[in-house]
């Protein structure tokens, strides 16, 4: 197994459960996203060949480089999950030690692995041995203490991972508090493998701040890309030339929404696609005064035509 990442662009699309499906990734790639992740996949569900989980593995030859993120803690499930994944084309296999959700941590998975660095080390070693592609770890700074980050990251590096993705908060912080840039910098300086930093990458200046304060090799955009796929173009431009590209105007945003929604109609059954798109409608129209009545109606939209009408009416509703 090769253990070096072949490509590491400056900004990567983070794994997001319920969000980073194939059509979402492809839209972001149109705007300059050069590395994207699938949604988080449960090893047990992969091992049992769950149809729902297999659907999350949908990809396309132009959907590369692609990282697949898995969550688990059991070697048997992990082994069969890796066997299943050998049927797919992808570039990086990532283990989730970052998810703070109780339904995950109460089973000892996700961020709970941060409390068991030795078990985490064994899991990663196993993955490195059997994975057909390089392995990475996505972690938080610690369970409740950012002082643990360096040791956990060094354990992971020792296990042979090719990169570490680090969200600059502890599990107990969830999404509260500021990003702990100093602790990310400490981890970066201890490692010889690439460190990709995550946390509050909402606009280009915050991406630059992450590079400047931590020395990280790349950054990862998550919430900043929700209803704003152009963030990749903006960050890439700002990092290369210090030029700020303006947010698209409302007519351009409507075109992007239509493209996004059409791709969901092609990918999902109609009602599922409409339901999936509702949250994006809210994110795209954030801060657009006059759209409140439309935003209130979006939760009731069930058909393709209802959603199309809500998108097309945005321009008429503005004041
Ligand atoms: C809706 C949503 C779903 C997420 N799902 C995952 C996930 O499945 N796996 C993971 O490692 N991180 C997940 N994250 C965390 C992000 O990858 C990222 O590390 C975190 O949001 C911090 O970045 P941000 O402040 O730029 O949003 C998720 C975040 C959001 C907002």
Q: What is the pLDDT of residue 1?
A: 46
Q: Which residues are marked as active site?
A: 99
Nearest ligand 1 atom to the CA of 226 is 31
| CA 15–ligand 1 middle distance (angstroms) | 6
The best mutation among 11, 12, 14, 42 to test binding of ligand 1, ranked by most ligand atoms within 8 Å of the C-beta, falls on: 14
Ligand 1: residue whose CA is nearest its atom 7: 16
CA-224 nearest atom, ligand 1: 26
Query: Of 175, 173, 256, 168, which is closest to residue 220 (Cα–Cα)?
Result: 168
Q: What is the value of ipTM here, to two decimals?
A: 0.99
Give the mutation target among 11, 12, 13, 15 for probing the ligand 1 site: most ligand atoms within 8 A of CB: 15
pLDDT tens for the chain, 319 residues long, are 456 677 799 999 999 999 999 999 999 999 999 999 999 999 999 999 999 999 999 999 999 999 999 999 999 999 999 999 999 999 999 999 999 999 999 999 999 999 999 999 999 999 999 999 999 999 999 999 999 999 999 999 999 999 999 999 999 999 999 999 999 999 999 999 999 999 999 999 999 999 999 999 999 999 999 999 999 999 999 999 999 999 999 999 999 999 999 999 999 999 999 999 999 999 999 988 889 999 999 999 999 999 999 999 999 887 6
Any bridge partners for residue 318, and if so which?
A: none
In this structure, the number of other CB atoms found within 10 A of the CB of residue 76 comes to 11
Predicted local confidence at residue 175, as pLDDT: 97
How far apart (Å, rounded) are the C-alpha atoms in residues 216 and 11?
Answer: 11
Nearest Cα residue to atom 23 of ligand 1: 199
Two tokens at 285?
Answer: 């129209």
- Position 5 scores a pLDDT of 76
What is the set of domains in the chain, with CATH numbers?
11-241 (3.20.20.70), 250-317 (1.10.1200.80)
Distance 95 CA to ligand 1 centre (A): 14
Residue whose Cα lies nearest atom 16 of ligand 1: it is: 222
């Amino acid at each position: 197994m090769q253990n070096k990442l072949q490509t590491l662009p400056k900004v990567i699309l983070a794994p997001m459960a319920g969000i980073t499906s194939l059509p979402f990734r492809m839209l972001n790639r149109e705007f300059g996203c050069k590395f994207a992740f699938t949604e988080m996949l449960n090893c047990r569900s992969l091992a049992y060949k769950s149809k729902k989980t297999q659907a999350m593995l949908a990809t396309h030859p132009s959907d590369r480089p692609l990282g697949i993120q898995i969550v688990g803690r059991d070697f048997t499930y992990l082994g069969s999950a890796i066997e299943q994944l050998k049927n797919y084309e992808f570039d990086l296999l990532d283990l989730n030690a970052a998810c703070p959700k109780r339904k995950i941590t109460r089973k000892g998975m996700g961020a709970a692995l941060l409390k068991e660095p030795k078990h985490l080390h064994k899991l990663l070693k196993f993955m490195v041995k059997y994975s057909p592609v390089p392995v990475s770890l996505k972690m938080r700074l610690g369970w409740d203490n950012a002082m643990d980050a360096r040791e956990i990251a060094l354990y992971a590096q020792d296990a042979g991972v090719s990169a570490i993705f680090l969200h600059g908060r502890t599990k107990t912080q969830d999404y509260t508090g500021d990003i702990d840039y100093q602790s990310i910098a400490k981890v970066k300086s201890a490692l010889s493998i690439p460190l990709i930093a995550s946390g509050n990458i909402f606009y280009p200046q915050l991406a630059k701040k992450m590079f400047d304060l931590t020395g990280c090799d790349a950054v990862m955009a998550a919430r900043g890309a929700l209803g704003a796929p152009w963030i990749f173009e903006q960050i890439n431009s700002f990092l290369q030339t210090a030029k700020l590209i303006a947010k698209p105007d409302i007519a351009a945003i409507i075109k992007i929404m239509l493209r996004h929604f059409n791709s969901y109609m092609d990918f999902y059954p109609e009602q599922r696609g409409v339901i999936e798109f509702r949250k994006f409608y809210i994110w795209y129209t954030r801060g657009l005064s006059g759209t409140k009545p439309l935003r209130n109606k979006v939760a009731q939209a069930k058909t393709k035509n209802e959603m199309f009408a809500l998108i097309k009416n945005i321009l008429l509703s503005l004041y």
